[in-house]
Amino acid sequence: MQRQTEKATALYYRTAQKNTDSLYLDNQMQKLLCYAKNRELDSYFLYADNGFSGLSLDRPAFNALKAEIETGRIGKLIVYNISRIARNYILFGEFTEWARAREVEIVSVMDGVLTAPPHTDVFGSLLKGGGQI
């Protein structure tokens, strides 16, 4: 029997405006690294988009992340909050369904698990909270 290779975790963070001191971007990165360390995640990759809006999913690091997901190397995506993925529910829903179809778990440090096994309505439960992205 062949041993199945464990998939890596992706830590993704983004800012909409380029910040000369990158404090906000660094803050997100530190929170993601702390989260990974506290959960003893050994294999992870960092993806960062600096100066790219969440109103589009077409961002350089996000595109690289999606390409890695397509190869099957990524099994979990961790973001600081859901707005780091997308700033509107339609794009957010499209991406989470795309990721779910590829068996990628999405976790938000602030919001908890965003994707779960098929037929689990995680997105609907977020909407019931009335929160905005």
Which CATH architecture describes the domain 8-128?
Answer: 3-Layer(aba) Sandwich (3.40)
Q: Is the dihedral of CA 72, 52, 50, 113 positive or negative?
A: negative
CA distance 115 to 117: 7
The pLDDT of residue 116 is 58
The pLDDT of residue 71 is 96
Q: Using the predicted structure, report yes or no on whether residue 91 has a pLDDT greater than 50.
A: yes
- pLDDT tens sequence across 9-18: 999 999 987 7
| Sequence ranges of the domains in the chain | 8-128
- pLDDT tens sequence across 38-82: 999 988 999 999 999 999 999 999 999 999 999 999 999 999 999
The pLDDT of residue 23 is 80
CB-facing half-sphere around the CA of 25: CA atoms within 13 A: 16
